[in-house]
Structure 1
Amino acid sequence: MAETLQHVEDMVDNAPQIDVHDTFHQFQEILAELKAKIDARFELQRDPSTLDLEQYGSYPDGPGGSLAAYSGPEVDWMVHSWLGNPAASFANLHLTVWLGPQIRVPHLGIALLVWPEGWFYIDGVPRTNLMVDGDYYDRYYAGLDEAWLAHRADPEFEYFVSRAGFIRASLSPTAYCYSFPRNERTIGVVRGILTDYVDRWLRWVDEAEPVPAADRAAQAELDLAIRRNIAERDPANVMGVRYFGQETTDRLVRGLWGGDRTLDRPL
């Protein structure tokens, strides 16, 4: 089983500068399909704090991006975004759904990257300590082991090991995090894994028991701390600084965790 262990900026700097719009558009289509499934399940409203981030930078003439965040009665913060310069080898796309505290289903995290090879991540971010809550692990992670282990054996996918220890600690035991050559087969495999995961995650949401009202405030604060730390400690933020400077990158990072939100958080 091969592994990739590199900084994001090193992967980009050491790769040929090529136009990756073909894969970028395929990744956009995949995330749009998944977002449509999520939109059909939840009542969501665009947070006004991200309206002016609908398009930023100088794309298509240079680096650019888009960040849209949403909230609703059952969703604390959902982000649909991309950042990069697809004409020069790099694009980073996200679809993340951070649920409200009324249930304890894992949050949904998805990322797709072109650097110019392919990379993907999908995981259910735990809402509790898995080493303490064995029932939670059994319900949401134990049943994923067989498919996860089978994918580790796919010779076209290299398991990606972040050089940042915090990021490694943020992954569940069944997180998918892989580099891969861009071809019809591998992109099809990624589409299938992401689609199956989202469909299963939506079933978890429908089947979840409610969290007692007295426990929801503590759950909401735990969720926010996890979301903020992941956003602020993401090693890929260095690419935002490279393209847009520190001030704009800080604004984008706040958009990822909701630091400038105006909509109320669900209770």
Structure 2
Amino acid sequence: MKETLRHVEQMVDSSPVVDVTETFQRWQELLAELKAKIDARFELRRDPSTEPLESYGAHPGGPGGRLAAFTGPEVDWMVHSWLGDPKAGFANLHLTVWLGPQVRVPHLGIALLVWPEGWFYLDSVPRVNLAADGGYYDRYYEPLNEQWLAVRQEYPELEWFTSRAGFIRASLSPTAQCYSFPRSDRLLGLVRRLTHEHVDRWLRWVDGAEPVPGPERAGLAATDLAIRRNIAERDPANVMGVRYFGQETTDRLVRGLWGGDRVLPRPGA
């Protein structure tokens, strides 16, 4: 299997300028389908801090984006967002759900990119040290190992994406899917299948989870927030936000990803 070992901005800068609006719209439709499944399961309310980010930039005439974050009794922070300039060959879309401390189910991570090739990331963000908690690994990760291996073996067109940032590599679970690929119908269909399976499985995990004892919830919530903030602030792709919108707006967007400006209380607070 081939490997991609470049920063996002290097991939974009070394590629031809291609209008990727069609793929961008397909990604938007896919995330809307996945979000609808999540909305049907959880009670969610948009945090007012992200309402000014409903639309920013100059899209469709230039770079733009949208960031909406939600919270609720069982969800600490859900982000549904996109950023980029599809007509110039780049768009980055996210759907992430960080659960409240009432359960230890892994958080849900989905990111889709077009640069103008395709790229996707799917993961179940662990909430324990997997090497120390073998039972947690056995419950949530070992059942996915065969699928992870099968994707690598059955789709040679995929290129494993290795981040040049060591912290980002450390944030991936053993069953994370993280690939760049040619935008063929075959591979776009693979992404559709894997993302729907990912969300359906995660919702079953939530429904079958045991409650976390009350005294342990504050510590779990603190760890969740630290992980979320570190991933958002250390993401090398933030440079694309600076390129399009400047540092001040990018800083605000990053805070939106982790909840730095949130108005509504965290669940259980």
Structure 1 CA distance for aligned equivalents of residues 139 and 93 of structure 2: 29
1:160 Cα deviation from its structure 2 partner: 0.5
1:145 Cα deviation from its structure 2 partner: 0.4
Other-structure match for 2:128: 128
Structure 2 CA distance for aligned equivalents of residues 156 and 37 of structure 1: 30
Other-structure match for 1:252: 253
Any idea what SS the aligned residue of 2:228 has? helix
Structure 2 CA distance for aligned equivalents of residues 112 and 148 of structure 1: 18
1:183 Cα deviation from its structure 2 partner: 1.4
Other-structure match for 1:65: 65
Identity over the aligned pairs, expressed in percent?
75
1:156 Cα deviation from its structure 2 partner: 1.4
Other-structure match for 1:39: 39
Other-structure match for 2:200: 199
1:49 Cα deviation from its structure 2 partner: 0.2
Other-structure match for 1:226: 227
Instruction: Provide the aligned length of Structure 1 versus Structure 2.
Output: 267
1:89-104 alignment runs, 5 A limit: 89-104=89-104
TM-score by length of 1: 1.00
Provide Cα deviations, 1:92-114, integer angstroms capped at 9, x if missing partner.
00000000000000000000000
RMSD: 0.4
Other-structure match for 1:29: 29
Other-structure match for 1:239: 240
1:217 Cα deviation from its structure 2 partner: 0.2
Any idea what SS the aligned residue of 1:111 has? strand
Other-structure match for 2:183: 182
* Residue segments in structure 1 that go unaligned for 5+ positions in a row: none
TM-score by length of 2: 0.99
Structure 2 CA distance for aligned equivalents of residues 29 and 186 of structure 1: 16
The code of the aligned residue for 1:46 comes to R
The code of the aligned residue for 1:162 comes to S
Provide Cα deviations, 1:30-70, integer angstroms capped at 9, x if missing partner.
10000000000000000000001000000011000000000
Other-structure match for 1:141: 141
The code of the aligned residue for 1:58 comes to A
Question: Which 4+ runs in 1 deviate beyond 6 A?
Answer: none
Other-structure match for 1:164: 165
Any idea what SS the aligned residue of 1:102 has? coil
Structure 1 CA distance for aligned equivalents of residues 55 and 130 of structure 2: 39
Structure 1 CA distance for aligned equivalents of residues 11 and 263 of structure 2: 37
Other-structure match for 2:264: 263
Structure 2 CA distance for aligned equivalents of residues 177 and 93 of structure 1: 14
Structure 2 CA distance for aligned equivalents of residues 18 and 65 of structure 1: 18
Other-structure match for 1:108: 108
